[in-house]
Structure 1
């Protein structure tokens, strides 16, 4: 069983689809695929995503071991950067294949 946001899923595909289908999640993962990024920079990349929504989605991705939050304290200031975990990196080829399949097969992509 897979527990995502207090909902139990018996199917791993359904559980992953639930995660990737949440608003902003795919864009968050795609935005940090190649480097670590600070919260403010990530929010600027996601035009229209509120601070509250970004925080909620990042927390859910951290909880599911897709993103890592690296916090460092420098002169009493907490600097927080986000990057993909090993599991998150393994999602990138899957997402690339999903993009290709969607472009090739979905009517809305034509």
Structure 2
């Protein structure tokens, strides 16, 4: 049985609506433009920095590096540096990141499925 939207909203495990709730910072990182796109890009598997930059079109090297650092500090992304020349660094989702990516992908699919109706409503 599916819970109603009202039931879900009333039973949040943390009070994300409270100004001082620590979940707000994570929510901001995950729902930022680049955070969301990086989670989607890493959902299929591990990528090197340059591959990730090519996949997430329009992101600068600096913004990619900053966003990856934030997602890594949130324990959603893991960075693996290989000691080779030239340097080789891989990025992958942690188990928590993979669980979150499923939800973010669900949102992205919903948007794409409803894009015609959303665009029509904008006109």
TM-score grouping bracket, smaller chain normalisation: 0.7 to 0.9
Q: Compare CA radii of gyration and give the structure with the larger one.
A: 2
Q: TM-score, normalised by structure 1?
A: 0.75
2:26·2:74 contact (CA, 8 Å) conserved in 1? Answer: no
Residue of 64, 77, 83 corresponding to 1:73: 83
- 1:98 Cα deviation after fit: 2.6
| Greater helix share, structure number | 2
- Would the alpha carbon gap of residues 80 and 9 (structure 1) be closer, same or farther in structure 2, given more than 3 Å must change? farther
Partner residue of 2:102? 93
Q: Does 1:84 find its partner at 2:96?
A: no
Q: TM-score, normalised by structure 2?
A: 0.68
Cα RMSD between the aligned structures?
2.8
| Greater strand share, structure number | 1
Residues 1-110 of structure 1 aligned to structure 2 (within 5 Å) = 9-10=20-21, 12=23, 14-75=24-85, 77-100=86-109, 102=111, 103=113, 108=118
Q: Distance in 1 between matches of 2:105 and 2:119?
A: 15
1:62·1:68 contact (CA, 8 Å) conserved in 2? Answer: yes
Q: Distance in 2 between matches of 1:100 and 1:35?
A: 18
- 1:34 Cα deviation after fit: 1.6
- Would the alpha carbon gap of residues 9 and 108 (structure 1) be closer, same or farther in structure 2, given more than 3 Å must change? farther
Q: Provide the aligned length of Structure 1 versus Structure 2.
A: 103
Q: Which runs of 4+ in 1 moved over 2 A?
A: 14-17, 96-104, 107-110
